[in-house]
Amino acid sequence: MKPINDILPLLDKPGNIAIVTHQKPDADAMGSSLGLYHFLKQLDHDVTVISPTNWARWLNWMPGIKAVLDYEMQRERAEGALDKADLLFCLDFNTFIRTKNMAPKLAALTCTKILIDHHREPDEKSFDYGISDTSRSSTCEMVYDLILVSGSKDKITTEVAECIYAGVVADTGSFRFPIVSANVHRLVADLKDKGLLHTPVHEALYDNFLENRLRFVGHVLLNRMEIFYEYNTALIAIPKADLIKYDIKTGDTEGLVNYPMSIQGIKLAALVIDRDEERKWSFRSKDDFDCNTFARKYFEGGGHFNASGGRSSDSLQETIKKFMRAIKENESQLQ
């Protein structure tokens, strides 16, 4: 995989570009994709953003999102855009399996493939150019860096700024996670200098849910959260029946795993959701507990040191039992 800066000459001549992110994109995935989209459009490229699946309705405020293709719902159009692409940007994922049903199509493409991501252990052989930098707060921060190094800082429009800021805010926990660097604050200052209004972005991300979601959160915290103080661990296990009862849609469970982290002494918080095809895990930790290694070892997952995800084909009850065995095995690291 060649350095990301080596792609800059490839952007000088207008061409066809596809931008792809991971399934069920979050604010960083969609923000980085649309931020890059608005930037490349100004360079006269024909750009298409493709999501492997649907996304949370509270992302629908993002400028340009109406042009995003849902691969599952618009497969013919999406594959047409991929087939004609000269360049394929892969954002906020580092292996094609994170794109679900799109993975075989992406692997088969012969166009130039470019990775921009901040997760661990990238599948470098699948990409021609790219950067995988775990020291960066978000993929949005990395798109901002790319724009700066291209010498096109003047092309950070309001649309670009809003998309980038949204992803940075979301992936840094509103600037409270350890990954936040001085560079992140300089980025925000620059966007503010360019006229970014940050309050509407925060409201769109955090004050944009329906009533049923708030009632669902209350139900979950009261009835589905268990605290294991002997392991400094919290577990939230959500059965499918709860999702049906409260009419929970894509994105409505975003952030739930963070709630137990506010409890004094909790070092690891885990959330498992009973989906149709599998059980989905989210992990958050404090201090020196490595979520990435934990998720990879026990739940076919991975991610960041203090924030990772995983999956299980076992039943909800069986995957919970496996989790309990796992935290017992890691008792010394959780003290």
Strand 302-303, strand 307-312: pairing: antiparallel
Nearest CA among 67, 147, 64, 71 for reference residue 102:
71
Which sequence spans correspond to the domains of the chain?
Answer: 2-206, 211-334
Q: How many helices (H) and strands (E) does the chain have?
A: 12, 13
Is pLDDT at 120 greater than 90 in this prediction?
Answer: no
pLDDT of residue 121: 85
pLDDT of residue 277: 85
pLDDT of residue 132: 95
Average pLDDT score over the chain = 96
Give the Cα separation of 313 and 278 in Å (integer). Answer: 5
Q: Mean per-residue pLDDT for 252-279?
A: 95
pTM: 0.91
pLDDT of residue 298: 97
Q: Mean per-residue pLDDT for 230-236?
A: 98
Is pLDDT at 84 greater than 90 in this prediction?
Answer: yes
Nearest CA among 223, 227, 310 for reference residue 275:
310
Give the Cα separation of 24 and 263 in Å (integer). Answer: 28
Angle formed by the axes of helices 182-193 and 158-171, nearest 10°: 150
Give the Cα separation of 37 and 163 in Å (integer). Answer: 10
CB atoms near residue 50 (< 10 Å)? 26
Percent pLDDT > 70 in the chain is 100
Is pLDDT at 115 greater than 90 in this prediction?
Answer: yes
pLDDT tens for residues 136-146? 999 999 999 99
E-strand stretches of the chain: 2-3, 16-21, 46-51, 69-70, 87-91, 112-117, 129-132, 225-228, 233-238, 268-274, 279-285, 302-303, 307-312
Give the Cα separation of 91 and 51 in Å (integer). Answer: 11
Helix %, strand %, coil % of the chain (to 5): 50, 20, 35
Class of domain 2-206: alpha beta
pLDDT tens for residues 3-46? 999 999 999 999 999 999 999 999 999 999 999 999 999 999 99
Instruction: Report, at the CATH architecture level, how domain 211-334 is classified.
Output: Roll (3.10)
pLDDT of residue 42: 97
Cβ atoms of 141 and 184 closer than 8 Å: yes
Q: Mean per-residue pLDDT for 234-263?
A: 96
Q: Mean per-residue pLDDT for 272-292?
A: 93
